[in-house]
Amino acid sequence: MGLGNVGSGVANALLSQMDFLSVRVNRSLNLRKVLVRDPSKHSNSQVPPQLLTTNPEDILDDPDIHIIVELIGGTEPTTAYLEHAVTAGKHVVTANKEVMSKNGPDLLALARRKQVRLLFEASVGGGIPIVGSLMNQLVANEIQSIRSIINGTTNYILTQMAYHRAGFQQALTEAQAQGYAEADPTNDVEGFDAAYKLSILASLGFHRRIGPDDVYRQGISQLHPKDFQYAEELGYAIKFLAIATQNNGDIQARVYPAFIPRDHMLAKVDGVYNAVEITGHLCGQVLFHGQGAGREATTSAVMGDVMEIARNLGQPTPQVPVLPPETHGSIRAIGDLKCKYYLRLNVADQPGVLAEIANILGKGGISLASVLQKDADAAAQTAEIVITTHPAREASLQQALGLVSSLDVVQEVNSMLRIEE
């Protein structure tokens, strides 16, 4: 269902490698129908015209179709298509992170009742085998944290800003020219895509129903090349992180740009690559790294799921994981986060300014780790100062920043980024 970039990759793999794939699963794999919106737009496709249809029922209600691959995207009408397919007793493979983030637990419960498979490896991390690992190889672990870079578009943009000191808009334009960013990049640069993916990983890792609304989200559009310059001077890289942690049953999930030490494994993940670091009580720290997007990587994940289902057709259906709607513990708000912070402020270049700022921060229980003065402007009589703090509570930091920004001697609080050690 769907013959876009990834859909055409899957269709081509099925058509051109039919013999190879059939040997691997010990049964014949045949592409029977492909749902498209307008067949005339696919006249140059490798898919024979007689396999194209504009009617979803031709696929959903065909008793000779055993596996349906959904690669349309979005939530409607795809959620209805997936419910129809599962109810009809068909096995399903999907790459749809939005549907699985918002409706995955309900669809998995339905698949369990209907005794069919619903696999979604391609919904997170492209070619990285992270979903299956959380459901199978790592299932014996009590997962303590998931720290990840799971959006290739934003990682490419931040890599351009870090190495070439490009501004955000310039780096975004380059990403669009290279085909890494959509014409409307909102879903990526404002963190929606990463939030969908993190909610899937956190739900699987913590065996809890965690939706995208449970994930704190902050985008990258406000980052400035100066932040990357100062990060490097302070020994950090800036990455767009998706983090979920569990402590005594309480879960906190967040997506935002953050400082991380330059020697951390995630700091070395550049370009459109993705990485997911899992920490479990048995496995310790495990890092998954690879291409997180693109036709070939996503096709690989989709085809892996298709072949897993095909290989086991006719066998007792493995139990599908069901995520309970509620369990002990809570979803912690971002205000409860405790970490170090980086602040960049434009202030009046006069004595006593730092003392006023430090006084407000101190009253909020926030102690300073370092202070650097940068870029004094003699004509405007202003200076830029960079502050890092010791660990502090987010709610206290936000309240203190509100007071700091109201000081007459503070022109602007230009940037606030969290430091993830």
Q: Which of 122-131, 326-335, 339-348 has the lowest mean pLDDT?
A: 326-335
- Exactly one of 197, 268, 340, 374 is catalytic; name it: 197
d(CA 290, CA 47): 29
Query: Could you tell me the strand order of the sheet in which 67-70 lies?
Result: 67-70, 91-94, 118-119
Strand 338-348 relative to strand 382-389: parallel, antiparallel, unpaired?
A: antiparallel
The confidence score (pLDDT) of residue 322 equals 60
Q: Is the pLDDT of residue 376 over 80?
A: no
pLDDT band at 274 (very low <50, low <70, confident <90, very high): very high
Burial class (CB in 10 A: 0-12, 13-18, 19+), 170: middle
Which CATH architecture does the domain made up of 131-292 adopt? 2-Layer Sandwich (3.30)
Q: What is the pLDDT of residues 394-413, one digit of tens each?
A: 999 999 999 999 999 999 99
The confidence score (pLDDT) of residue 202 equals 95
Mean pLDDT of 151-168: 96
Mean pLDDT of 25-32: 92
Mean pLDDT of 24-42: 92
Q: Is the pLDDT of residue 338 over 80?
A: yes
Question: SS3 of 373, please?
Answer: strand
Topology at the third CATH level for domain 335-419: Alpha-Beta Plaits (3.30.70)
Residue span(s) of the chain under CATH 3.40.50.720 come to 5-126+296-311
The confidence score (pLDDT) of residue 151 equals 96
User: In the predicted model, what is the mean pLDDT of the chain?
Assistant: 93
Residue span(s) of the chain under CATH 3.30.360.10 come to 131-292
d(CA 379, CA 344): 20
Q: Could you confirm whether 197 is annotated as catalytic?
A: yes
The confidence score (pLDDT) of residue 320 equals 64
d(CA 256, CA 243): 9
pLDDT band at 315 (very low <50, low <70, confident <90, very high): confident
Domain 5-126+296-311 annotated CATH 3.40.50.720: yes
Q: What is the pLDDT of residues 278-298, one digit of tens each?
A: 999 999 999 999 988 788 999
E strand or H helix that includes residue 56: none
Mean pLDDT of 175-191: 93
E strand or H helix that includes residue 336: none
The confidence score (pLDDT) of residue 325 equals 54
Residue span(s) of the chain under CATH 3.30.70.260 come to 335-419
Q: Is the pLDDT of residue 323 over 80?
A: no
Residue 40 vs residues 37, 70, 72, 187, 209: alpha-carbon distances, Å: 9, 21, 18, 29, 42
Work out whether the CA dihedral 102, 107, 112, 116 comes out positive or negative. negative
pLDDT band at 329 (very low <50, low <70, confident <90, very high): low
Strand 91-94 relative to strand 118-119: parallel, antiparallel, unpaired?
A: parallel
Q: Is the pLDDT of residue 318 over 90?
A: no
Mean pLDDT of 385-400: 97
